[in-house]
Structure 1
């Protein structure tokens, strides 16, 4: 049956015009989009180093522990747990630091903490490792909160999805590049003498070469962030966006007043006198911290905290636990002749492809995929991840997250193909969650985007920290069970929160939380 609306008829002139307009929007590159591209490139280099080292950190430190050099077994998991514990705590001070330093210099400060951490692997010392992990947690809280603010400064509600996906695709493409780098290094650098388990370990010269490169890449990414342009209040994206609370004293000082004033202005650019007054002075750091805590207690944010927490569990698994599990599966070499180190690099490559592909589809092609809706995209990602959990459970040995093992999986001999497919599905699904969360926070929390991202990263890092702590003692089936439960709880939370958004979009868009909103009404 043909729809009455001629715009929907294939080949109709109005429909062709609409398609041309979509194509033009896809290819256009505004000043704000160029800023997002530069931000993504800076993150690309920093996280090419960090994500690649996260893949190998546990394996590297266990190799040193076997030689009695500086660290103990599972210090890699402990280091990652410390990073995310510090990340969790420092999320509460990230917004004030950004208000003090400004968004660009906050990004630079955070980038330097990443470089300090990477440099520590050039001379492995247990206490430097843990100290720099704590410092990196502070840097992570600042860099991700500042990233959220910078994206919001360069986005409107219409471009939030596109810019979020574009940034995510660029910043996560680094995993594939990092995997290729590791693959080349493992192929060219000699293995430690001795054969057997020593052959699958990573030699000291190889570690120093890898981490020297990682340190240099981190510094390069930090320099790119230092050159970021900072949009002014007259930039079009800022004119069509409501004010951010880190530059709004009134929003944190008297939220109810600003909420009333903003109720008379739309997201398309109407700016009331209350907004102009808000920009005139900077809020206190205590006021920003108080604003973050109040936002955390609202009913919608309580529901959003469930998917936030799930992404933390998921991140710990795909970024470190799953690659470690693959690397510790000695049957890949015994039966199929593939060194686990090389398979570790291949896993990084396919996971990077999964992250970047998802970011491209739901970001750069946002104008074509937006009609699916955020809930359908997240549900699709959840289904893919559930498949990846099942593949991991059936294919990989139960004790591989903890130690090198010659055990079989449920399906008998572990399959390299299934391991790589599982890695791709895991990362593609993770990007579905993250791109839609990013877009939601940018579009619906324009006034307090720094605080919204701080809350997001607080819950994410809290559960990521917990996951790395329990990773030192539980086997793969327990990981899969925790992930599956977390996935369903997180999906329910996201669906409920998005339903509240649609039912009360105006209040949600203003998101300046007056006192009478704190009970969630």
Structure 2
């Protein structure tokens, strides 16, 4: 018979092993997302700068089209990624995802349209595989008592990727742009007449592009080695063992049943909102900061914006985690309401501070009320990060509660709708101006809120019946 002392020692050892696995998983996430999120802030602006120098090399809207291809591949991969997890393992799925992520920034060392779109598609596949593998690995390395703390730890540290990325961008910008003010003065003097004296847009030089994407590729490659070294052994009493009893064929059938579920249809507006809003705050709005000719000398705005997003995500994550322990079901209706309000505020501030056509082309038009500066960009980025954290949190919670026997499939379906929304927006973004986003997204917030509240209420009733 085991003594109490040996039992405590065993529990301590198991917890240490859990933390080791979760920390390695989180470090891998930090590596791949540092590159992806940071480059998304500047992707369209970088592509535009390359096109200005060599028009035949790549389309001026390839930044948006490439992300559309990424999310289209994401939609497709989400259909079979849970079944792939069943057929292989979480570790294998994560390893493949890290290779896909690393392939994308490497393309900017020799920019080519064909490789660019190919690597964008690989990026989308990497997304689907990563999120599926992440969920599978956490559940096989967590017990019922530690799952919440492990998820919170992984989320909080993972959100630091944008802070790390913003610091990298600021350092590289300071190294490569020392002569930027003088160059911009010359360009503004020679081109002032054509742009009404407001200056030219912020442009990225070859050395800055090479350094940025070389560093992003190097950091992403660290995830490959990290996931290779991940322990494969499950912890005792884990929530879901890594050895799956479902075949690939049966997994696809479960996926089809979940995709046609009435619950998923009711939650579709929420998932679409998450995808469209992500496209706006992650790529389209930061592009306007660069395309606004009034900001031509504010070369650190992308770094400041990324830092603000990371801070907002982290703060809201801690708030939700704290209040969820004190207020029952805070992660459902209250968090959704806060997320919709913050999303609307984000759109309203963007409406007041952004030229209407700066989403697709360099603009010297005046904003409706005020020009963005370092402080306002940081504050609006914090709001954007907090709103995204709310929407992503409620998506995860409602998927877990509404379909407890098909969590992996429900989460994949949510990502299908989310990536489908992003895909459509990026494909049509060259034809949209600011007003389409700042009015359309709040309307979608209202629609998503109505359907989400209805489904959340039904889920709470179902839970009460099960516990009676």
Using a 3 Å threshold, how does the CA distance of structure 1 residues 225 and 388 change in structure 2: closer, same or farther? same
- Select 2:101's aligned residue among 102, 114, 137: 114
Deviation at 1:159, TM superposition (A): 5.0
- Select 2:86's aligned residue among 99, 116, 122: 99
Q: 3-state SS of the aligned residue for 1:228?
A: coil
Query: Is 1:125 matched with 2:112?
Result: yes
Give the corresponding residue for 1:237.
Answer: 238
Using a 3 Å threshold, how does the CA distance of structure 1 residues 56 and 408 change in structure 2: closer, same or farther? same
Give the corresponding residue for 1:279.
Answer: none
Q: 3-state SS of the aligned residue for 1:61?
A: helix
What TM-score comes out, normalization by structure 1 length?
0.78
Query: 189-198 vs 168-177, which deviates more?
Result: 189-198
Give the corresponding residue for 1:50.
Answer: 36
Q: How many Å separate the matches in 2 of 1:486 and 1:34? A: 41
Q: How many Å separate the matches in 1 of 2:224 and 2:65? A: 26
- Select 2:420's aligned residue among 454, 459, 462: 462
Give the corresponding residue for 1:207.
Answer: 209
Query: Is 1:433 matched with 2:396?
Result: no
Using a 3 Å threshold, how does the CA distance of structure 1 residues 304 and 167 change in structure 2: closer, same or farther? farther
Q: How many Å separate the matches in 1 of 2:444 and 2:365? A: 27
Query: Is 1:223 matched with 2:225?
Result: yes
Give the corresponding residue for 1:195.
Answer: 187
| Structure 1 contact 445–508 (Cα < 8 Å) conserved | no
Q: 3-state SS of the aligned residue for 1:411?
A: coil
Q: How many Å separate the matches in 2 of 1:116 and 1:83? A: 13
Residues 228-377 of structure 1: pairs in structure 2 closer than 5 A: 228-232=230-234, 235-238=236-239, 247-249=244-246, 283=247, 285-333=248-296, 338-339=297-298, 341-363=299-321, 366-368=324-326, 372-377=330-335
Deviation at 1:439, TM superposition (A): 3.5
Q: How many Å separate the matches in 2 of 1:326 and 1:58? A: 11
Using a 3 Å threshold, how does the CA distance of structure 1 residues 369 and 32 change in structure 2: closer, same or farther? farther
Runs of 4+ in 1 over 6 A off after TM superposition: 506-509
Give the corresponding residue for 1:40.
Answer: 26
Q: 3-state SS of the aligned residue for 1:431?
A: helix
- Select 1:65's aligned residue among 51, 54, 64: 51
- Any stretches of 5+ residues in structure 1 without a counterpart? 1-27, 250-282, 510-521
Query: 436-445 vs 124-133, which deviates more?
Result: 436-445
Q: How many Å separate the matches in 2 of 1:363 and 1:231? A: 28
Q: How many Å separate the matches in 2 of 1:72 and 1:480? A: 26
Using a 3 Å threshold, how does the CA distance of structure 1 residues 199 and 480 change in structure 2: closer, same or farther? closer
Q: How many Å separate the matches in 2 of 1:413 and 1:459? A: 35
Using a 3 Å threshold, how does the CA distance of structure 1 residues 379 and 32 change in structure 2: closer, same or farther? farther
| Structure 2 contact 359–434 (Cα < 8 Å) conserved | yes
- Select 1:135's aligned residue among 106, 113, 122: 122
Deviation at 1:227, TM superposition (A): 2.2
What TM-score comes out, normalization by structure 2 length?
0.87
Deviation at 1:72, TM superposition (A): 1.6
Deviation at 1:414, TM superposition (A): 4.0
Q: 3-state SS of the aligned residue for 1:480?
A: helix
Deviation at 1:368, TM superposition (A): 4.3
Q: How many Å separate the matches in 1 of 2:456 and 2:213? A: 42
Give the corresponding residue for 1:390.
Answer: 348
Q: How many Å separate the matches in 1 of 2:395 and 2:465? A: 18
Give the corresponding residue for 2:441.
Answer: 483
1:220-265: CA deviations, max 9, x gaps? 0222222223353x62232xx6x78x8133xxxxxxxxxxxxxxxx
1:450-477: CA deviations, max 9, x gaps? 2122111111100011111121111111
Deviation at 1:62, TM superposition (A): 0.4
Give the corresponding residue for 2:410.
Answer: 452
Using a 3 Å threshold, how does the CA distance of structure 1 residues 185 and 64 change in structure 2: closer, same or farther? same
| Structure 2 contact 304–374 (Cα < 8 Å) conserved | no
Using a 3 Å threshold, how does the CA distance of structure 1 residues 236 and 58 change in structure 2: closer, same or farther? same
Q: 3-state SS of the aligned residue for 2:238?
A: helix
- Select 1:493's aligned residue among 440, 451, 466: 451
Using a 3 Å threshold, how does the CA distance of structure 1 residues 415 and 189 change in structure 2: closer, same or farther? closer
Count matched residues: 438
Deviation at 1:495, TM superposition (A): 1.5
Deviation at 1:480, TM superposition (A): 1.0
Using a 3 Å threshold, how does the CA distance of structure 1 residues 446 and 502 change in structure 2: closer, same or farther? closer
- Any stretches of 5+ residues in structure 2 without a counterpart? 1-13, 189-198
Tell me the C-alpha RMSD between the 2 structures: 2.5
Q: How many Å separate the matches in 1 of 2:449 and 2:227? A: 34
Query: Is 1:403 matched with 2:361?
Result: yes
Q: 3-state SS of the aligned residue for 2:366?
A: coil
Q: How many Å separate the matches in 2 of 1:348 and 1:382? A: 21
| Structure 1 contact 113–135 (Cα < 8 Å) conserved | yes
Q: 3-state SS of the aligned residue for 1:321?
A: helix
